[in-house]
Chains A and B, each alone.
Chain A
Amino acid sequence: MTSLPQVLRGSKKLGPVVVVIVILAVLILVPLALVLLASISTSVPRPGNISLGDLTLGNFALLATPEGLTALLNSIEVGIGSAVLALIIGSFLAFLCARTNAPLRKFLFFVGMAPMFIPALVGALAWSLIASPSAGFLNIALRDVGLNLTINIYSMPGLIFVLGIFYAPYGFLLVHSSMAMMNADLEEAATVHGAPLRTMLRTITLPLALPALLGAGILVFALTMENFPVAQVIGNPGKVDTLPTFIYRLMSATPARSNEAASIAVILTIGLLVITAAQQRVISRRKFTTVTGKGARPRQVPLGKLRWPLTIVALIYFLVAVVMPMAALLVAAMQSTPFVSTISQLFQAGALSFRELGNTIMSDGFQLGLRNSIVVAVLAAAVGTALSFIAAYIRYRTKARLRAVVEFIAMTPLAVPAIVMGIGLLWAWLLIPLPVYGTIFVLVIACVAVFFPQGYRGVSASILQLDQDLEDSAVMLGASRARAIGTVTLPLMRVGLTSTFLLFLMLSMRELSAVLFLFTSHTQILSVVVFEQFENGQSQAAAAISVLYVMVIAIVAVIAQTVGSRERSPRLPNPMKGTQE
């Protein structure tokens, strides 16, 4: 039987948990619920206008139209194509880097990572400058040398190509860690039992890396399928519609076809949900197939004559994914005349100047965007990290009955496309009677909500590594729980919390899709400024801001790297090891 004191004690303990659940629900669940509601309604959720009176499934009929069906099939095609391309590039680089004697291996690791610092939007912009059928630099060059050949990036293959090269780092990182951490003993056992190198790679190495490959493939599929900026910049001119661009067109039509947009958003979310569930299964199975980081370095595969040719292939990827895009942006930003008919024109005196770049730096638009970007990113990082810690603490350090709910809500955005979350947040914060809509805070909220799973996971991993006894012993010595957390747990988690902060910071700096429907002219962030300029046909201004945007991100990345490496983990005690005094 439950006595009254027990009930009272129970509710006292539950209080803070309920508060956190309410905060997370407002942040994450309410927007989604509104999208769902809008998808089966004939009106948009507005203050004083939420009714369940006019429910309909009619909005979903849009999917059956040729328009809707094409967008759906295109999305799937884009997802599969770019996942395959990204995985081929990523695992090729990872194998070269982690397991062979290829030259320049250290640099190749950088090559594998580097495109991550170029937001997909900027990458797409750059490739449209390089290979747009009429004015792309590459096509001008082809015409210069007299080849009757036009490379049209504004096409399905073009879209797959751009997404593939800019999402290859995800494949690279996952596969690389799996290959680098592979237990050398397992492979050596195969060699000892008579397997030649080729057989060993086929029967041991590949099967062991397979879960990582599969997990990475599904992840890239999910990310590219919901990607909006690239699909908009590359796909839209070529009339290749995907679900995210379709949603955007419906939302920005006049009058806005919001309910139909919501129904497409629901379809996209369901698709992503299924994919994410599949990916989580693959990843969780991976736990017992991949092996510990202990033991000797895995064996190097001698490449022989192929050493240099394979490295050159890797360098070509670097050229395509980093050098050419950045060069194209720079040239476009510095062109003194917007129209170029031959490449040689660019080498004439006065053809290139820093004037436009300088103007851009001084322009109000850029400075406002920069300021807003930094404010949004820093606030989102601070709020996101704090909230992630609280959620992870409840989940892993308390016995609150609702702790599973906390984790469920925290992980939900993983299966929600950023653009869908953006629509939901728009409606949610128009409804919620707090003066947040139209301010910079709604952008902060969007970044926290969209990236919460990543932050929550990072902090959880760090909290799980910390022995609970460390905090409990402070409480046993008389400290209150809050003081124990402040003096013991937080200082010991400094490294994990710092890297979560930096992760939020980097992701928020790059985000476009989530804030697409939330900014005003005063709260534009850099990604929005670039996108707006491009949409308005100001490609030179867009290019100039892009160059500066990438530089800002690079500076943040360097700072993050420096801080991250300085924050070295304190050596945790290992009682199993200490034997002699």
Chain B
Amino acid sequence: MKIQIEKLQLKYGGFVAIENLDLQIDDGESLVLLGQSGCGKTSTMRCVAGLEEPSAGRIVIDDVVVFDSETGVNLPPNKRNVGMVFQSYAVWPHMTVFHNVAYSLKVQRAAKREVRERVMAALTTVGLDSFADRGASLLSGGQMQRVALARSLVMQPSVLLLDEPLSNLDARLRDRLRIDLREIQLRLGLTCIYVTHDQGEAFALADRVAMMQRGRIVQIGTPQEIYAQPASASIADFLGVVNVFECTVPPSEAGYHDAQLTGYGMTVRSNLGVADGGSEMKICVRPEDFTVTADESADSSEDIVPNHWRGRIVVSSFQGDSTRYAVQLDEGPEIQALQSRKRRAAFDIGDRVWIGLDPDAAQLLPAEVAS
């Protein structure tokens, strides 16, 4: 079902948790609110759920106004038909799996047979049909997560909210449940809002990702768009772009810019356009976009090829399929480079190396999204 959030605002005393937020989620869409803790993403979700009362704004779910500060409408959570999977799962330990899942149907006074059928169907969907009579306190984390999901699915919610649904699981299980969740969401055509601080999780689960910072949505788009084109250096930083350096960008008529690194006598060429952020610009490079090659003596190729610098390996850390290097550039800052295992021979600490960078991979971004 469609969800519409207009001019949403939430204040705790003097602190503004959500500021003037507009967001529309289409029927059957999976939207992920991504951001650091304290950015307002969970607050936004709780406003949709009705667990938090916004100070201003309007929320419409499936053409029903559930909150409107103008007219004073504020439907309680139990009247909104919104499903929610809590970060802690909130599976009730004093009930069996069956009774946990059957709860909403009992509240609706559904017939016994119908309850049984629908609960078992929901449990089958999440692959827990054989656990119906198990006490809920005897489940593992992954199983509890599935019970919490089935419990929300069984009420056929207009929208399903999931608060960091995978953050309490270990890495392997997380990868598997991530795919399971996406598969269930697509199969049932559910409208979902996820909240997460994990970019990998966000990209895997989302049709669209809404990046949040300081109570505002700073960028919204498909996972591919956000990954390829972060709107600011601080978003890039959050998405794992570790090489972020202040720079100045002289005006240029050519198809590229030669950014001047602040504090160093070093320029970085970038073919990616400048969104004319004006004042504060930063150059952002993903570690995997640097190439590390052996220093074949001090030849004279220096400064002839752009984005080609000499440096020394400071730290070398083997990570299985790749190796991560910290390289101190002779005339620049220390950078982080990630080299795939297949690509090159390993280097040791102290080795002299050449660092290369494709101008297509160097992004010039404003420090923050203009408000």
**Chain A residues within CB distance 8 Å of chain B:** 3-6, 8-9, 467, 469-470, 472-481, 483, 487-488, 491-492, 570-573, 575-581
Contact = CB atoms under 8 A, between A and B. Distances in A.
A517 to B, nearest CB: 45
26 contacts: A5-B71, A6-B69, A8-B72, A467-B90, A469-B88, A469-B89, A469-B90, A470-B90, A473-B84, A473-B86, A475-B51, A476-B77, A476-B78, A476-B82, A476-B83, A478-B108, A570-B93, A570-B137, A573-B137, A575-B141, A575-B168, A579-B140, A579-B142, A579-B169, A581-B140, A581-B142
A573 B103 contact: no
A572 B137 CA distance: 6
A429 B140 CA distance: 56
A469 B139 CA distance: 18
A492 B86 contact: no
A479 B143 contact: no
Contacts of B136: 573
A579 B103 CA distance: 26
Nearest to A569: B93
A557 to B, nearest CB: 28
B173 A579 contact: yes
A573 B107 contact: no
Contact of B141 (A8, A477, A487, A577): A577
A40 B72 CA distance: 50
B137 A478 contact: no
Given A469-B87, A472-B51, A575-B168, A477 B104 contact: yes
Contacts of A488: 92
Contacts of A581: 140, 142-143, 173
B151 A477 contact: yes
B193 interface: no
B365 interface: no
Interface of B: 49, 51, 69-72, 74, 76-78, 81-84, 86-94, 103-104, 107-108, 136-145, 148, 151-152, 155, 168-170, 173
A475 B78 contact: yes
Contacts of A8: 72
B2 to A, nearest CB: 20
Contact of B143 (A4, A467, A572, A578): A578
A476 B107 contact: no
A478 B155 contact: yes
Given A476-B83, A477-B103, A579-B173, 5 more contacts: A473-B86, A473-B148, A477-B107, A573-B91, A579-B140
Contacts of B137: 570-573
Contacts of B145: 575
Given A9-B74, A491-B94, A492-B94, A476 B49 contact: yes
Nearest to B80: A476
Nearest to A5: B72
Nearest to B138: A571
A459 to B, nearest CB: 18
B90 A473 contact: yes
Contacts of A578: 139-144
A473 to B, nearest CB: 4
Which has the most chain B C-beta neighbours within 10 Å: A4, A6, A575? A575
B118 to A, nearest CB: 13
Which has the most chain B C-beta neighbours within 10 Å: A467, A476, A480? A476
Contacts of B82: 476
Given A472-B51, A578-B144, A579-B170, A3 B72 contact: yes
Contact of B86 (A469, A491, A570): A469
A469 B137 CA distance: 16
B151 to A, nearest CB: 7
A573 B140 CA distance: 9
Contacts, number: 118
Contacts of B139: 573, 578
Contact of B78 (A478, A571, A577): A478
A10 to B, nearest CB: 10
A244 B186 CA distance: 74
Which has the most chain B C-beta neighbours within 10 Å: A480, A579, A581? A581
Query: Closest 4 interchain pairs by CB?
Result: A5-B72, A578-B141, A578-B140, A469-B90
A124 to B, nearest CB: 45
A477 B148 CA distance: 11
Contacts of A481: 76, 78
A475 B80 CA distance: 10
B119 to A, nearest CB: 12
Contacts of B92: 470, 474, 488, 492
B107 A483 contact: yes
Given A575-B141, A578-B143, A476 B84 contact: yes
B361 to A, nearest CB: 37
A89 B4 CA distance: 68
Contact of B76 (A474, A475, A491): A475
Given A5-B72, A573-B139, A578-B144, A479 B107 contact: yes
Contact of B104 (A470, A478, A480): A478
Contacts of A9: 72, 74
A6 B69 CA distance: 8
B89 A573 contact: yes
Contacts of A491: 94
A5 B71 CA distance: 7
B88 A467 contact: yes
Contacts of B49: 476
Which has the most chain B C-beta neighbours within 10 Å: A477, A573, A578? A477
B78 A492 contact: no
A474 B102 CA distance: 11
A413 B51 CA distance: 34
Contacts of A5: 71-72
Nearest to A479: B107
Contacts of B108: 478
Contacts of B86: 469, 472-473
A425 to B, nearest CB: 38
A573 B72 CA distance: 38
A291 B297 CA distance: 60
Nearest to A8: B72
A470 B100 CA distance: 11
Contact of A575 (B70, B84, B89): B89
Contacts of A571: 93, 137-138
B46 to A, nearest CB: 9
A483 B82 CA distance: 18
Given A469-B90, A473-B90, A480 B78 contact: yes
Nearest to A492: B94
B94 A570 contact: yes
A404 to B, nearest CB: 13
Which has the most chain A C-beta neighbours within 10 Å: B69, B72, B87, B145? B72
Contacts of A573: 88-89, 91, 93, 136-137, 139, 144
A481 B88 CA distance: 20
Nearest to B127: A581
Contacts of A472: 51, 77, 84, 86, 90
A575 B88 contact: yes
Contacts of B91: 573
Contacts of A475: 51, 76-78
B175 to A, nearest CB: 13
A491 B136 CA distance: 14
Which has the most chain A C-beta neighbours within 10 Å: B81, B90, B143, B152? B90
